[in-house]
Structure 1
């Protein structure tokens, strides 16, 4: 089938491997690009995915599942007295995951 949309999906590097694995398992073709920029303000990966109408919702569900924002608890050492003092491990909540998705309609497509 001919793709009807191009999805440009910018995700955090930590989610890119899982997303790529699930897309491969489902037989969904994609191009993966290492990228940096202002959308996520840290290491990220850009996926280019051509989709037809029949698979669009499936692909969007995969992206949402693999790249959803979530809270994680990490251990951080912060000084008790600034600027110099003993370091005490503390557990803090941080947001991980998430991304940015653009959908562009395709007017013409040619494979060669």
Structure 2
């Protein structure tokens, strides 16, 4: 058994959730906040068989997209007493962690 943690942008939560449901994959959703932009994310926790991991990752890739966003440069570089100018950063997509599970129970 594997536990897949997938952190996706809140803008992609609905599409990812629907894609997982359509594929017959059950997931637990947790609200989370990114540390860099302090933006809302959703963390999906997905328990699956080893053979299903690639399929789960494909669903996540299909339904979460990268996008560009402008943020104040102070968020990126934290200059002292300098004028902040917008900087384009890449956000979205999915950050995925896969871990082994020693024991799984549903009670």
Aligned Cα root-mean-square deviation (Å):
2.2
Inter-partner Cα distance in structure 2 for 1:35 and 1:98: 15
> 1:3-82 counterparts in 2 under 5 A?
4-38=1-35, 41-71=38-68
TM-score by length of 2: 0.72
The alpha-carbon deviation at position 102 of structure 1 amounts to: 1.1
Contact 2:60 2:94 in 1 (8 A): no
Change (3 A) 1:67 1:6: same
Q: Is the helix fraction higher in 1 or 2?
A: 2
- Greater Rg, structure 1 or structure 2? 1
SS of aligned partner of 1:44: strand
Contact 2:61 2:94 in 1 (8 A): no
Contact 1:39 1:100 in 2 (8 A): no
Aligned residues: 90
Between 1:31-40 and 1:8-17, the stretch displaced more is 31-40
SS of aligned partner of 2:39: coil
Kindly report structure 1 stretches of 4+ aligned residues shifted beyond 4 Å.
none
Q: 1:108 aligns to what?
A: 103
Contact 1:10 1:46 in 2 (8 A): yes
**5+ residue gaps, structure 1:** 75-92
Contact 2:3 2:45 in 1 (8 A): yes
